[in-house]
Amino acid sequence: MSHINKSAQQLLAPIISNKKVGQYQQIIINVGDLASLCKPGNFVAINVGGSSSSMILRRAFAISRVSTSATFGGTMELIVAPHGQGSKWLCAQGEGVVLDIVAPLGTAFGIPTEAVPVLLVGGGYGSAPLFGLAEVLNARGCRVDMLLGASTGTKIYAPMEGKRAVNSMRIYTEDGSMGQPGRITDPIAELVKDLDIAVVYSCGPMPMLSAITTITNSLSVVHQCAVEEAMACGIGVCMTCVLPVASDDGSVSMLRSCIDGPVMDGSKVQWDQVGKQL
């Protein structure tokens, strides 16, 4: 059964910094006390285009990190790829621009109750929320190893300070321009066995999440993935962002990735039925 993230609030939040980081834009917004309600995996829905825009739907972005500082109070960091019209608009907004946001939305990554070894797998800028997650896992006493991958080196997002909370970080690019040549999925099976991994956390494109699930299913290791599906509302009313997910009794139903996700149990998502008629 769905559990709505009851801490969601609508807020006018000013941008306090917006700068280019490689191919992405790092946007930091002032969200006050809301920061304390955000957990790794949650997302934010932001109005784009201004009040007279023809873009009527909010855009959903993973919250990559929250922090509290004496100068700014609670802040939220987003790593945005300027892909479509909406994200391009957001990336072009300067300091002081006030954004209409709704957050935190969706499910969060589950944190193990014991200090077990975990593997974090991030594709492209999907790695962004994994650094905040790494800090939480590290604080729990987990040994955190990280795998990042992309088609090419410029699409890898790996901030220097992000490495603090991880034991090791390996990078794979398909064209070999950064790290080792190959796909991010190549070393997973071996790493899970060698490091005795209990939980694999992943965030990135859907085909990557599907491929990881195939591996984790064969190793019977838990796989928590943050899914990505086109959303109109982000708050559970529009029913557009659904994915076929099996329940404990085996029956498959269309669950909303905004409420039952974005973090889902990879082994329950019916990857081969995504986009098909149930």
Partner 1 sequence: MSSLDFSTTIGNTWFPAPTFTASGCASSGRELAQFFPLRDMGGVVTKSVMSKARNGRPTPRMAETPSGMLNSIGLQGPGIDAFIAKDIPYLVEQKARIIVSIAGETVEEYSTLARKLRSVSGISAIEVNISCPNVENRGLVFACDPEASRRVIDGVRRTIGGELPIIAKLSPDVTDLVSIARGVVEAGADGLALINTVLGMVINVDTMRPHLGGKTGGLSGPAIRPIAVRAVYQVHAALPKVPILGMGGVASGKDALEMILAGASGVSIGTASFGNPTAIMKIQNELKQLLIDRGFTSLNQAIGFAHRPEAENSDA
User: What residues line the site for partner 1 (CB under 8 A)?
Assistant: 4, 6, 8, 10, 47, 54-58, 100, 102, 229-233, 235-243, 253-254, 259, 274-278
The phi and psi torsions of 62 (rounded to 5 degrees) equal -65, 140
CB of 233 to partner 1, least distance (A): 4
Q: How far is the CB of 48 from partner 1 (least distance, A)?
A: 10
In the complex with partner 1, the residue whose CB is nearer, 10 or 214, is: 10
The least distance separating partner 1 from the CB of residue 51, rounded to whole angstroms, comes to 10
Spatial CB neighbours of 258, under 8 Å, sequence gap ≥ 6: 43, 60, 105, 106, 231, 233, 234, 235, 236, 241
Q: Which is nearer to partner 1, 16 or 97 (CB)?
A: 97
Min separation Cβ 230 and partner 1, Å: 5
Q: How far is the CB of 65 from partner 1 (least distance, A)?
A: 24
CB-nearer residue toward partner 1: 59 or 65: 59
Distance CA 168, CA 219 (A): 21
| 105/144 with CB nearer partner 1 | 105
Distance CA 163, CA 158 (A): 8
| 215 vs 259, beta carbon nearer partner 1 | 259
Q: CA 95, 96, 101, 107: dihedral to nearest 10 degrees?
A: 40
Q: From 102, 100, 16, 14, select the one nearest 51 (Cα to Cα).
A: 100
Whether 146 and 204 have beta carbons less than 8 Å apart is answered as no
